[in-house]
Amino acid sequence: MQLKHKIVALSILPLLLAVALICALVIVQNQRLGEEQVRLIENAILSSKRAELKNYVAMALSVIAPLQAGGQDDAQARRQALEALARIDFGQDGYFFVYDTRGRNLMHPRQAELVGRDLWNLTDPHGLPAVRALIESASGGDGFQRYAWQKPSTGRVTDKLAHVVMLEPWGWMLGTGIYLEDVEQATRQVREEVADGIRSTMAAIATIALVAVLLVFAGGLALSVREHRLADSKLQSLNRRIVHLQEEERSRVSRELHDGISQLLVSIKFQFELAGHQLEAGQSSGLVTLGTAIERLGGAIGEIRRISHDLRPSLLDTLGLPAAIGQLASEFEQRCGLAVVYRNGLPDARLPDGVAVALFRIVQEALTNIERHARAGTVLVELEPCMNGVQLQVQDDGIGFDPRTIEQPQEGIGLRNMRERVEHLGGRFSLSSSSGHTGICVILPVPAASAAGTSFTL
């Protein structure tokens, strides 16, 4: 996955996840509030219906009260009471019913086929033994019972709320009920409104999320284009720096070869030619001239070794970093006349090639800067292990400088190049400078298994 795609993905995925969580919370909260509203409406309607049913039952009791008072054990009084109750109705589906305590129907004005039948074990579609539950509610409950029963006007089985009482002298259960289709309709309407609200809310959230995703995508695309251009610019600048560094290094080597080796070789050539002429002429000074030429040839060989050592020190490959830095410090001390203190605390183990080369080049660059700019008298180079890595410190007692100047483009290589080497290897670079003291501290990590066949234990 390309970087721009990663940026867009990391921007959009959390947004989509947040939107999904918000949608889930909205759905759950709306459903919970909808169910609470349904319960409130249902309870309110049922409360009014309970009060209405109590009034109906009280009215029926008042109708049969004279018959109960006049003949509790009179069969005719009971028959008259049943006839009177059968004539009472309220609306198309409002009627009274009577059962004995064993579940036998004694009166049902809407379903005459049930009269005289034992309905003790009759169950509604929900599995509730309806008549038994009515009798139990009348005997020991609050007198209200909800169950499913056939509605006379439609012939369909519908939920019904009944209120029943016991007529103790006769052993009857008297009751009436109201069908709850209006309750079901009201609750269904509330649930539909809640569902509509959820759908409209989801549509609004989806629209907002789509707009946000498009904005994030557009912003990510613009950022990607900007970063791409910036990366191209940095890459071009880096390429220019690499070319500049290559040309600078070539120019340095060319100058050293031309001004040093070339001049020495020309001088040696003249010395050999002079020695040849002198020896041909039988002059004893030819041997002296030949000795001088041989001495200068040794100097040329030493200069070639120095240039070769600057390009890639052989000690770094043969004896390792500590020895290479020790030789570099010794040559620097001899060449510049400064007092160099070198402290090596590393164990005898070979560092990874990249770490070793980076530390060597940093010491080399630091000593070059000290030679050119510091005006120092003493230099300290310290190499020691640290937690999971290697620490290098180079300090001098020179005039110091402003560390902020290292970030300026005109500085080229040097201190900024050191920082880039360290950052490339995942290390830390710190610099401090004031009058009388300048120091750099480099910490580079050393992987546990970075070099095959060697170990580096800190």
Helices (H), 71-113: 75-87
Residue 57 lies in a domain: no
Residue 235 lies in a domain: no
Please, which pLDDT band fits residue 227 given cuts at 50, 70 and 90? confident
Q: How far is CA 438 from CA 329, 380, 384, 434, in A?
A: 17, 10, 19, 6
Residue 183 lies in a domain: no
In whole angstroms, give the CA distance from residue 34 to residue 14: 30
CATH of the domain at 98: 3.30.450.20
**Residue range 331-363, pLDDT digits in tens:** 888 888 889 999 998 876 678 888 888 888 899
Domain span including residue 161: 94-176
User: Considering the chain, what percentage of its residues have pLDDT values greater than 90?
Assistant: 23
> Last residue of some domain: 124, 151, 176?
176
**Do residues 153 and 93 lie in contact, with contact meaning Cβ atoms separated by under 8 Å?**
yes
> Last residue of some domain: 123, 154, 176?
176
Residue 321 lies in a domain: yes
Domain count, the chain: 2
What is the DSSP pairing of strand 339-344 with strand 378-386? Answer: parallel
**Do residues 379 and 370 lie in contact, with contact meaning Cβ atoms separated by under 8 Å?**
yes
Mean residue pLDDT across the chain: 83
Task: Give residue 420's pLDDT.
Answer: 82
Residue 430 lies in a domain: yes
> Last residue of some domain: 123, 147, 176?
176
CATH of the domain at 413: 3.30.565.10
Residue 419 lies in a domain: yes
Task: Give residue 1's pLDDT.
Answer: 62
Residue 352 lies in a domain: yes
The pTM of this model reads 0.45
Q: 3-state DSSP call for residue 265?
A: helix
User: Considering the chain, what percentage of its residues have pLDDT values greater than 70?
Assistant: 90
Residue 284 lies in a domain: no
